[in-house]
Amino acid sequence: MRMQLTMSGLVVLGVASLGASAALQKTGNGAPDAGRLKAERNYQQVCQPCHGPKGDSPLPMMSLSDGEWKHGSSTQAIAKTIAEGIPGTAMLPNKDKFTQDEIDALAELVRTFDPKLKPETTKK
């Protein structure tokens, strides 16, 4: 089977590759957009049913946007909660479902849902 590329086909390929490279470019804080997109997909698939689309569950114990963080609001504390879950609640452990990098990206994403939280400074 032989394919022929026309000028419009090249334009479409060029636009598609620009979109793909834009998704891999780094954001202002140095995190790749591709990691953020994956975190958003993971959140939608696993977390959103209980926590809501933007962490805005109407149930206070499941809200991620109301300034109330019983188990800690730092990225590290949130990552621990995601990984280990909360015994006696519907929050199950996810350490077997996600890699540590995916858990860390989810924790960073979840923090963005709460307008009361200040950005953390990155330690290197």
Q: Tell me if 18 is assigned to some domain.
A: no
- Provide the whole-model pTM: 0.71
Does the residue 76 lie in any domain?
Answer: yes
- Residue 103 makes CB contacts below 8 A (sequence gap 6+) with 79, 82, 83, 94, 95
Which CATH number goes with the domain that contains 42?
1.10.760.10
Asked whether residue 41 is assigned to any structural domain, the reply reads yes
For position 27, what pLDDT does the model report? 54
Is 1 within the bounds of a domain? no
**Structural domain span for residue 51:** 32-111
Residue 54 lies in a domain: yes
What does the pLDDT look like over 1-49, one tens digit per residue?
A: 444 444 433 333 333 333 333 334 455 666 557 889 999 999 999 999 9
Helix (H, G, I), strand (E, B) or coil at 102: helix
Let me know if residue 107 belongs to a domain: yes
